[in-house]
Amino acid sequence: MLVNRLAAALLAALGAISLSPVAHGEDGYDLWLRYPQLEGAAAEKLNAFNPVIATPSTRGETVDVALDELEAGLSSLLGRPLGTGSGGRITLDCGAPNADPSGRFRVTGSSAEIRIVADEPVGCLYGSFALLRELSLGRAPDQIALDEAPAMDLRMLNHWDNPDGSVERGYAGRSIFDWWHLPRRVDTRMIDYARANASLGINGTVVNNVNASPLFLTPRYLPKLAALADAWRPYGIRIYISARFSAPRDVGGLDTADPLDPQVRAWWKAKADEIYAAIPDFGGFLVKANSEGQPGPQDYGRTHADGANMLADAVGGRGTIIWRAFVYSAEDETDRAKQAYEEFVPLDGQFADNVIVQVKNGPIDFQPREPFHPMFGAMPNTRLMLEAQLTKEYLGFASHLAFLAPMWTEVLDAETGRGGDVADIIAPAGMAGVANTGSDRNWTGSDFDQANWYAFGRLAWDPALTADGIAREWAALTFSRDPAFLQAVVPMMMESRQAVVDYMTPLGLAHLMGTGHHYGPAPWVCDLARPEWNPCYYHKADARGIGFDRTAAGTDALAQYAPSVASGWSDPRTMDQDYLLWFHHVPWDFRVQSGRTLWQELAARYDRGVATVSDMRATWRTLAPFVDRQRFKAVSDMLEIQQEEAQWWRDASLAYWQDLNGLALPAGSAAPAMTLDEYRALEFPEAPGE
């Protein structure tokens, strides 16, 4: 393993390198905005520049935030207060306060001056964070030259938080939103949250669960929402809410929520007017409809376009309706992976201009690996937005180290065969990420999960960035700039997601997790009420073979992709083996590209995943000199949990497959630690995130 070789090399070199001093008590709260004091040549160059911030001619809340960030960040990097006399000037030219907030900025440095230029204040804020990032990474002031604009219009976090403080699929504690004390008390954590988002260019937040409570549409909650909107406005963040489609009936006193009913349309228009009177820059509504039992327009024989357009008319040009394409129902007897395409693609061109259809990265549900969603490229007359999941519902919760930028770049770079890659398709709309923040002191439950928040923001700003480049940035800003540290930790991060795929769902398997909580392996579950709730539905394993046939001989889901894409997945002998069992049902003795039988390859992949986690632990043990004691121990503890659970996933899965196929384990593959009955008997009533 690469990380093993790097770990060995690092151990050999430890006696010969000069290590930077590390703090002994960081708790992760400062995220990637620590701004630790520079050392060596980088410190000499910044001290020689001796920055002095010039007072800009245009002021306002956003510009003041940028100035405060620059002063705090530069002082921390220098290890002293900023000078007030002569020195290198940092000049902000922030344009018109009411200009369209595109976010574009330019930062240019010379030996005498650094200029941050933007068309409007939020661009200056983004430019200030970018300047501090460059300096934190050791760039010399006179070598900084940035000219950036966001690739996507909307860069949004979706919070699955509930009014009572619980978080659906939340693994980092309670909700960060204190609805009980709002609006009178706006916790300082809300400002720190906004600051972290602004540092990445994130410009929208949906504050509540897509399984929405109608409370957020009642007059009592409007002042609470307005208080948050006021707090976040200087940081360029607009507030959105998830709207329950049946609200006119639930809290509006009507006996219907039919989107074509005039009274219903009038109710939503009045509700939108009420919200915009309190929050003039309210972003709009996110809606989950007719999925997993949620109400929607199909309850009244209407289409998704009917429902979305009714809300679009209510908000008008003031905001946006984001309509989720995550739909599936027990009545769909063909293939859950096909349903969203079949419901939405025929509606292409029927959605209002201010409607965005939000599509998950893959056609099932945030699995460790899925092919890109076939809707991307199939609706050229509809704005489509990519939905990713930062909270690791299916990737070991916050307990497992799984850096997700490689997953997202796989999707963003995927050629659709219909108008470019996925990044091209979604550029006019944007990206949404299901947030992984919570009340834990380090925000995300584990320190390395912060990297997924960071990576999402960076890719939403610029999908051309590389996953390893983002990993290097985050690790340097969050832990240590030392090259020896980065040489070891970046490959570890880059291998982590594939490790999870290997020990959980290798070769295109999917949805093998436990019922309800989605914790741990449960491929044996076959008796739940709805077919698509059962892992057996997805793996189709029996004595003869395994995998879901989505070719023309099966459900023909493959035909939903462009022919140029589908042809690459049509032949199980030549296709990318990572998707083999997603698209094909093959015998256990099928010969894969490695030369092994499928059964041998499955065992090898499970073993590879467990071994990679062992290598990650070995690498991390060498990095204690670079990391403060508190965070070093926290990561070490999580890696120990991951090692145990990776082994559990491997053992329980192989035990079940072996029970079905009756085959001996391949040579060199160790027997599971327990019997299949013992694995099946395990229960986890305390699992978080229900």
Which residue numbers are catalytic? 292, 365, 393
The answer for residues whose C-beta is within 8 angstroms of residue 236's C-beta and 6 or more apart is 62, 101, 103, 122, 125, 126, 198, 203
Integer Rg of the chain from CA: 26
DSSP string, 94-142: ---TTS-----EEEEE-SSEEEEEESSHHHHHHHHHHHHHHHHTT--GG
The answer for residues whose C-beta is within 8 angstroms of residue 18's C-beta and 6 or more apart is none
DSSP, res 236:
T
The answer for residues whose C-beta is within 8 angstroms of residue 388's C-beta and 6 or more apart is 360, 361, 366, 404, 407, 408, 411, 431, 432, 433, 434, 456
The tokens describing 235, both together, are 């940081």
SS3 for 320?
Answer: strand
SS3 for 244?
Answer: coil
Question: Using CA atoms, how far apart are residues 74 and 15, in angstroms rounded to an integer?
Answer: 32
Q: At 323, which helix (H) or strand (E)? A: strand 320-324
* Selection from 579, 578, 600 nearest residue 589 by Cα: 600
Residue for token digits 């001619």?
A: 57
Question: Using CA atoms, how far apart are residues 307 and 485, in angstroms rounded to an integer?
Answer: 52
Question: Using CA atoms, how far apart are residues 506 and 369, in angstroms rounded to an integer?
Answer: 9
State the SS3 of 610-656.
HHHHHHHHHHHHCCHHHCCHHHHHHHHHHHHHHHHHHHHHHHHHHHH
Beta bridge partners, 115, equal 91, 108
DSSP string, 32-69: T---PPP-HHHHHHHHHH-EEEPPPSS-SHHHHHHHHH
Write down how long the chain is. Answer: 690
State the SS3 of 137-169.
CCCCHHHCEEEECCCCCEEEEECCECCCCCECC
Question: Using CA atoms, how far apart are residues 509 and 583, in angstroms rounded to an integer?
Answer: 10
User: C-alpha angle with apex 460: 459 to 466, nearest 5 degrees?
Assistant: 10
SS3 for 303?
Answer: coil
The tokens describing 574, both together, are 């030549």
The tokens describing 331, both together, are 């009545």
Residue for token digits 């906004």?
A: 194
DSSP string, 494-546: HHHHHHHHHHHSGGG----BPTTT--SB-TT----SSGGGSHHHHH---SSEE
